[in-house]
Structure 1
């Protein structure tokens, strides 16, 4: 066996172990999130791509339960921030308090200093409070009174949000939406899944007894492996063409930024590893384009009146951009 062949075999073996751990995590979360395997897998892809997840839907469909189940499945420190109109930025980031005995200011970290942060009903917080997350979501650090404080890694914000047309909510600004790697909606469960929920144990009790499947070191290794997956040159070009096409679409006031290209590629690598592959294929990009790109787009008022959405535009873009051929990939 040559050195090159050995590298391929090792990559395939590591991808197989990645896929096994990924499936175990998804299966554990499905104990409390019934009939939503696709949403569970998207959330895990987001975690392992070192991104942040926005879960948007009406109350009562399992948004917070999904976030708590991910936290329970990963043996890491997690916190929950309940966003309310009177929540202050310092309630999230922490404050510096003067210690009279030492005659110095001591930083007392807020709940943002955790591996997994559940930002519950994020759009009920004021715009000033929402902006407290901008720096930490992008740079993974918090600056308080001019001093930067890094957050632990892995680090992920899982935010839940009710639709913005409900009373007492504030729409998230474009700069903050762009920092979420994905936005997903839970949707209502199918009939059989809802019956299973009613017949099963109380969800809260199950969450309290869920065993952790992976530790921080396991997650760190999975993240590191995904970043090293092979990407053929035509696929780099394909990702850029898909994202750049949104900037020229006549039904959009704002297209996707280069951050969307980076996010799409990171997520595609994780999806490939979850499938047991050591390389990505065009289907990885297509499967993730809507949850990664759609929330970053702003539709024109005229298109919005016709019922058009960002997801519709992404679908058109995918249909219009030529897919790289297998031989080239």
Structure 2
């Protein structure tokens, strides 16, 4: 392991420090990480299995939920195994190509999840504002096209980051003070001007996550406007209840991410290990909690999950 500066030499292998300053606590820290990963895998796999095998759950809302569960599995798997390898067996070595591959899947999946949450807000808007036209608007063909558009957007915005990183010469250091590969963390150990990396990262943030948040907010303003025009109080309550799970998932997805971004931007006095922990938690929480929220609050899914688990116990 070398952190020295070799002018003209570009490192192709890097070392992940894990959580700087807490190296002696890695084994204890790994326990909640491992538990959350297992819950995320089992919970989201169960959601996908239930939706795909039950014909009555092949409606738009459940198909979007199936996409979200699949993205949760990819997001967890692109980050947590690398963390556990560092924590448990000190496998901290990672090649440049593997590092870029990891951050590509991490970032693109995160953007995909944001896109899926946006179309789920659109789904709730159509269901509440145009209930009689719901099935005719959200056809299987349109859902398929939406799914393709979501993933094309996520891959299309992240692919340029690969080339922006590939052009850099990593001669400052080959040590990454993190549990995984991050775009700017990797760029900062290069000897090149990284202004284009910083500005492109800012563009990706604005054109995906920030735009999605604004559109989701607009969708819910329109939904609330339509709901409070319903004369029946029971009907209003039922309409709002259908949005409950989605709102919880939105808060858990964007909340930790926004808080982490703000602390990294303005919390220069905060210890480095806090920044790393917050960044990891913002990726760990949504995949673990999403299936629990939908499993508890959505009766159709809850009934099918109970049925599957009861069959498995017999």
How does the TM-score come out when normalised to structure 2?
A: 0.25
Q: Give 1 or 2: higher helix fraction.
A: 2
How does the TM-score come out when normalised to structure 1?
A: 0.24
Q: Give 1 or 2: higher strand fraction.
A: 1
